[in-house]
Amino acid sequence: MASNGGVTWRRTEEVHVLAVDDSLVDRKVIERLLRISSCKVTAVDSGLRALQFLGLDEEKSSNGLNVSLSSSSSFSRISVSLPSDSHLRLLFQDLKVDLIITDYCMPEMTGYELLKKVKESSAFREIPVVIMSSENVLARIDRCLEEGAEDFIVKPVKLSDVKRIKDYMTGEGEKERSSKGINKRKQRDSFDDLSSSPPSILSSPSPISSSSSSSPSPPSVQSASAPSSPSPLDSPTRRVKMASSK
Amino acid sequence: MDIVNQLQRQFIDHSTSLHREGIVDDQFTELQKLQDENSPDFVVEVVSLFFEDSEKLLNNMARALEQAQGVDFKQVDASVHQLKGSSSSIGAMRVKNACIAFRSFCEAQNREGCLRCLQKVTHEYSLLKNKLQSLFRLEQQILAAGGSIPVAK
């Protein structure tokens, strides 16, 4: 990473994921899944901490800036409380989050509530949010998707889930999607599941800060033509990419 | 190389029986896939976290169910829910299934039923712990003898 006048530039291939889960075991697993998929990970144990990391929490420290550093293997984990000044944000460009993956059932703040807060924020609403849950409840899934969740994964999370998520984050032209067999998705076409990987549902995505096309044309299967090289999927699945309505 | 072969065979047998008896499921295999030279002790680390976490939760359940002045079934259920989640994440299938049954007794606020379930979950947990510790021991023995750990297909 080159440093230039206090601004640190992130390598474009490196994806930074903020993982939120109150279970220590699950955090350990999701961290490993993400790291083995070449993602940078910051794992926190609550929605509140996630908001704090993003600088979205209401209670900011009085001196404005509060940084503690801890290194873990080749990744640095930085806890920071930032005021909303954008120039200060630039200094911490390295912390820029590309994806939030959160558990649904958490005490104090659920994943759904965290999702809402992120989507309500002008600064962070573009960040794709993926919800994980051990409960496969259609109403819950729908509610999350309607609120703007990118995807919904039923736990336990597998490597193929993470690979799939990473693929649509790195912005291929044609996204792929697999249906969980829960095919009651409002206003969307659905495809039958073609893959053996655990399916999940792709929602209407908010514009992702990558070069993804959001064409409302009928979905068709195309080979992925990504500007950045996508990681190979275990099995091809099809996805519907909807124009953003947010 | 005889001793290594012997140990590897024992490892495979042990691993196979773990799956066959439903003590672990595919998710455990998924975790093993995540172990590599960058993270050579990943499975042992996660499982150790799971053991610590589980024992705390089992204690919580026991204490909550002991309360003479009235059992807080919500509290019991919360602990069972957590254990169900973490056991699912590491592929501890029988523990997970025992938790599922447990939750319905919590919902029914049935203390006797809950106590029976706690016994069952504790039993399954102990079984899992013993078997996994044997598996890890075999791994260590194989490595110490200069061999490599057979990879699950």
Residue with more model confidence, A144 or A211: A144
pLDDT of residue A212 exceeding 70, the answer is: no
CB of B137 within 8 Å of a chain A CB? The answer is no
pLDDT of residue B87 exceeding 60, the answer is: yes
Q: Which amino acid is at A172?
A: E
pLDDT of residue B148 exceeding 50, the answer is: yes
Burial of A126 (0-12, 13-18, 19+ CB in 10 A): middle
Number of other residues whose CB lies within 10 A of the CB of residue A161: 23
pTM (predicted TM-score) = 0.73
Residue A56's pLDDT is 85
Domains in chain B and their CATH numbers? 1-145 (1.20.120.160)
Model confidence band, residue A80 (pLDDT cutoffs 50, 70, 90): low
Q: Could you say which of A29, A73, A155 has the minimum Cβ distance to residue B46?
A: A29
Residues of B in contact with A159 (CB under 8 A): 30, 33-34
- ipTM metric: 0.94
CB of B84 within 8 Å of a chain A CB? The answer is yes
pLDDT of residue A69 exceeding 60, the answer is: no
Annotate A165-190 with three-state secondary structure: HHHHHCCCCCCCCCCCCCCCCCCCCC
Residue with more model confidence, B92 or A230: B92
Residue A74's pLDDT is 41
Q: Could you say which of B42, B82, B85 has the minimum Cβ distance to residue A32?
A: B42
| Chain A interface disruption, residue of B32, B45, B86, B89, most A CBs within 10 A | B89
Q: Which residue has the tokens 């309607």?
A: A146
- Residues of A in CB contact (< 8 Å) with B are 23-26, 28-29, 32-33, 35-36, 73, 105, 134, 155-159
Residue A228's pLDDT is 44
Model confidence band, residue A59 (pLDDT cutoffs 50, 70, 90): low
For chains A and B, what is the number of CB pairs under 8 angstroms?
A: 55
Contact A129, A149 (CB under 8 A): yes
Asked if B34 and A32 come within 8 Å (Cβ–Cβ), the reply is: yes
Residue with more model confidence, A70 or A125: A125
Asked if A23 and B89 come within 8 Å (Cβ–Cβ), the reply is: yes
Closest CA to A21 of A12, A29, A13: A29
Over residues A7-19, the pLDDT tens digits come to 555 455 689 999 9
Residue with more model confidence, A231 or A137: A137
Q: Which residue of B has its CA nearest to A135?
A: B85
pLDDT of residue A199 exceeding 60, the answer is: no
Residues of B in contact with A135 (CB under 8 A): none
Over residues B101-143, the pLDDT tens digits come to 999 999 999 999 999 999 999 999 999 999 999 999 999 999 9
Contact B14, B134 (CB under 8 A): yes
Range with lowest mean pLDDT among A75-79, B57-61, B106-110, B149-153:
A75-79
Residue A166's pLDDT is 86
Residue A185's pLDDT is 40
Residue A14's pLDDT is 82
CB of B29 within 8 Å of a chain A CB? The answer is no
d(CA B68, CA B144): 52
What's the DSSP call for residue A72?
A: E
Residue A190's pLDDT is 43
CB of B75 within 8 Å of a chain A CB? The answer is no
Asked if A29 and B85 come within 8 Å (Cβ–Cβ), the reply is: no
Residue A86's pLDDT is 56
Model confidence band, residue A91 (pLDDT cutoffs 50, 70, 90): low
> How does the average pLDDT of chain A come out, rounded?
69
| Chain B interface disruption, residue of A21, A27, A29, most B CBs within 10 A | A29
Q: Which residue of A has its CA nearest to B51?
A: A25
Q: Which amino acid is at A165?
A: I
Residue A57's pLDDT is 76
In this structure, what are the phi and psi dihedrals at residue A211, rounded to the nearest 5 degrees? -85, 65
CB of B147 within 8 Å of a chain A CB? The answer is no
Sign of CA dihedral A197, A207, A79, A61: negative
Residue A93's pLDDT is 56
Asked if A28 and B46 come within 8 Å (Cβ–Cβ), the reply is: yes
Asked if B30 and A26 come within 8 Å (Cβ–Cβ), the reply is: no
Residue A84's pLDDT is 54
Over residues A127-184, the pLDDT tens digits come to 999 999 998 999 999 999 999 999 999 999 999 999 999 887 776 433 444 444 343 3
Q: Which residue has the tokens 């496969």?
A: A136
How distant, in Å, are the alpha carbons of A163, A172, B19, B77 from that of A232?
8, 12, 29, 41
Asked if B49 and A36 come within 8 Å (Cβ–Cβ), the reply is: no
Percent of chain A residues topping a pLDDT of 90: 43
Residue A6's pLDDT is 52
Contact A193, A237 (CB under 8 A): yes
d(CA B87, CA B93): 7
CB of B88 within 8 Å of a chain A CB? The answer is yes
Residue B69's pLDDT is 86
Asked if A159 and B30 come within 8 Å (Cβ–Cβ), the reply is: yes
Which whole number is the average pLDDT over B36-52?
96
Which whole number is the average pLDDT over B51-70?
95
Asked if B50 and A29 come within 8 Å (Cβ–Cβ), the reply is: no
